[in-house]
Each structure stands twice: as C-alpha cells, then as structure tokens.
Amino acid sequence: AVALSEQGILAGLPKASVWIDLSTNNLECERRIRAAATDREIAFLDAPVTGGIEGAAAGTLMIMVGGDKHVFARCKPVLEKIGNRIMHLGPHGAGYVAKISQVVLCYLNSVALSEALMLGVMGGVPAATMLGIIQGSTGASYVADRYGPAILDGSYDHGFALGLAHKDLVLTLELARTVGATLPMCEQVEAIYKKAVDQYGFDQNHLMAVKLLEEQNGTFLRSI
C-alpha cells in the first residue's frame, strides 16, 4: 500500500525518475514494484544496505545494487552520500539476494556464539574468559566482537529489533525456496527467533534470542 497505492510512493514520482529501494525485500515484491515502475516509465534499482546504525550515521554503508548498469552509474553519486562500498552486482534482484545471503550469517553466528558461550560457562569457564578465547581463536568474528559484550552485560544490543531479525530469516527461507536451496541451519535459527518474538515481543532487542537459550538452560551469560 505504501508503495503501489494511488497515494503511494510510485504515484508521486515523475517520469524518468529512479526509485532506489534500500530495504531488505524478496524477489516477488521486487518484481511487482519494478513492473509497476516500468509502466510509469520510472527506473528501479534494488539497493539494500548493511553497516548498521553506525554506518548510516558515518556514511560508510555497504550498498548492494541490482538493476540496469546505466541507471546505476547515473545514481552512484547519490549513493556515495550514504555509503563508501557501493557494488553493482548484476540484474534486478541481485542486491536483494546478496543482502539476504550475507545478513543471515549474523543470526546464525549469534546463535552459535551463545551456544559456545553457554557450553563453556556451564562447564566452569567464566563467560568473559570464554568470550576472549573465542575472539582469539578460529571462532573469532564480527559477531563475537560486536555482540559478545552486549550478551555479557545483559543489554542484548539495542541496535536492531528482534522482529526485524526474524523477518530477515523469513526472507532467507523464502529466497531458498525460490532458488531451490536447502538450508537446514537457517530453518532451525528461524524457529528460534520466531519463538523469541512470540515470547518477548517484536520490538525487543535482537539478541533476545540469546536470552531464550539462557532461560532454557537456567544460566545467564554474564561477565560477573
């Protein structure tokens, strides 16, 4: 309704303009929007971003773009105002595919990190010590560095909503069905995040999925 209704975004755009969609979306939605835009002689680029709140504030987002290369070249100076890693990945939909494929790792890694911490803590290793070991070993990752402290202090990171994380996982499974991929780990993690949303609410912090594991084990991963 926001995009395609009579009072929607598309209705207010003049001919020969470009609609740049920065959201994380699915391929069917992209096709519908692009078809409607084409009917109005409006170009369309899918250009989802990654980099979080910090990247948006600093203008250092990574922007993954799908669509006509000439339209991309025309719009690149605009995208450079908000990002410093701007990639044209191919035809329409390529940006969405890349964004979904990379962002799902964040959620898989978050669950894997919490389980590794839980195993260590329940085995007698202090949580902060266990996190340091992970950060200095083959298990090191952005997730461990960025989100590990937010698990240990009980804040569960304020940067992203739990419900939006679950939405990304749903989009992942939709994309998997579209391309014929079997992703058993993604299916399990989606179920974990869905349960967390049902239990804690859509607007809670995205690492509340870790709290679910803590409550299941009766053990909280804290640095004290």
For the annotated catalytic residues, the residue numbers are 99
DSSP 3-state of 158 = coil
Rg of the chain in Å (alpha carbons)? 20
Residue 16 near residue 37, CB atoms below 8 Å: no
**Residue 40 carries which DSSP code?**
T
Q: Give the burial class of 37: count Cβ atoms within 10 A of its Cβ; 0-12 exposed, 13-18 middle, 19 or more buried.
A: buried
Residue 18 and residue 202: Cα distance in Å, rounded? 32
Q: Which two tokens stand for residue 170?
A: 């749903």
